[in-house]
């Protein structure tokens, strides 16, 4: 089974092929990570080869857990696979659900485990070009203002996180 992710079909959690999940808009499990350092959040620009939302800015990293994968292990795996980041210990902050059209007739309907990790200033990052074009550190308040001014440059889920779940995700971690 290739790219099978946990999704609900007729009320039962079952492995479903990732593209089918998004074509059908099935509710499915996901993981999102935000890496913070000195009041700033690390965001990534998605690679142009991504099958949805290419070139848009997103949170530090996100993915779907494998069928039997623990969300915390998934967060660590994805930090390593997308950004070459190791040695961080993301803390689970919350679980949120959202539904958003992501283009090309695809729908993300995710039940997301949100993780936050604190990083040192000299964090080593080694981008996987198949996943990520660029990264940058942005002050959380500046990020919210940028998203408000130019929403089309950001993924739907990052816009939703900042608009609807900012306090639940960041709380007092960066004075949010």
Catalytic amino acids? Answer: 62, 110
- The end-to-end CA distance of the chain, in Å, is 42
CA distances from 176 to 57, 107, 115, 141, 173 (A): 20, 29, 16, 8, 7
Q: CA-CA distance, 90 to 108, in Å (whole number)?
A: 23
What is the distance of C-alpha 147 from the center of its chain?
16
């Amino acid at each position: 089974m290739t790219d099978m992710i946990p999704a609900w079909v007729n009320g039962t959690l079952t492995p479903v092929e990732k593209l089918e999940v998004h074509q059908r808009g099935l509710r499915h499990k996901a993981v999102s990570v935000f890496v913070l350092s000195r009041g700033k959040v690390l965001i990534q620009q998605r690679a142009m080869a991504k099958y949805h939302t290419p070139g848009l800015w997103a949170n530090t990293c996100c993915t779907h857990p494998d069928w039997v994968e623990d969300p915390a292990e998934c967060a660590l795996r994805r930090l390593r696979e997308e950004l070459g980041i190791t040695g961080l210990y993301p803390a689970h902050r919350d679980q949120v659900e959202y539904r958003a059209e992501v283009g090309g007739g695809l729908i993300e309907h995710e039940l997301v485990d949100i993780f936050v990790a604190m990083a040192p200033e000299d964090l080593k990052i080694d981008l996987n070009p198949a996943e990520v074009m660029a990264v940058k550190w942005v002050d959380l308040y500046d990020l919210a203002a940028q998203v408000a001014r130019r929403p089309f440059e950001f993924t739907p889920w990052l816009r939703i996180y900042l608009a609807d779940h900012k306090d639940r995700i960041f709380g007092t971690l960066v004075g949010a």
